[in-house]
Amino acid sequence: MDRRPNDSVAMHSRTRSITWHGEYFQFQQLPADRVGDGVQWAVRRHGEFIGTMPCSAHVTTKDFDLRCERWLQDLLERTTPV
């Protein structure tokens, strides 16, 4: 039996961890404060809050992971000194 997650299924998890450029990041869904399609995720690196990421409530796990990587790239490459 194949137990890998189905990438085409909507993500139902309220927390998700990914490794990006060798660093561990945790995404935690914040409670909804209003009705709508969008969801906010608190993002932490080494236990420290670094920002919030908006994301559709109907995204697949694969698309969520890609969205996380793009969000991290946008945030961290913008704040990294050259």
pLDDT(72) > 90: yes
**How far apart (Å, rounded) are the C-alpha atoms in residues 38 and 54?**
7
Residue bearing the bigger pLDDT, 11 or 6: 11
pLDDT value at residue 46: 94
Q: Which two tokens stand for residue 73?
A: 């790239």
Residues with Cβ within 8 Å of residue 49, at least 6 apart in sequence: 42, 43
Identify whether the C-beta of residue 59 lies closer than 8 Å to the C-beta of residue 41.
Answer: no
pLDDT(79) > 80: no
Region 39-62 average pLDDT: 92
pLDDT(28) > 80: yes
Residue bearing the bigger pLDDT, 35 or 49: 49
**How far apart (Å, rounded) are the C-alpha atoms in residues 42 and 54?**
9
Q: What is the DSSP letter of 47?
A: T
**How far apart (Å, rounded) are the C-alpha atoms in residues 6 and 75?**
28
pTM over 0.75: yes
pLDDT classification of 7: cutoffs 50, 70, 90: low
Region 22-49 average pLDDT: 87
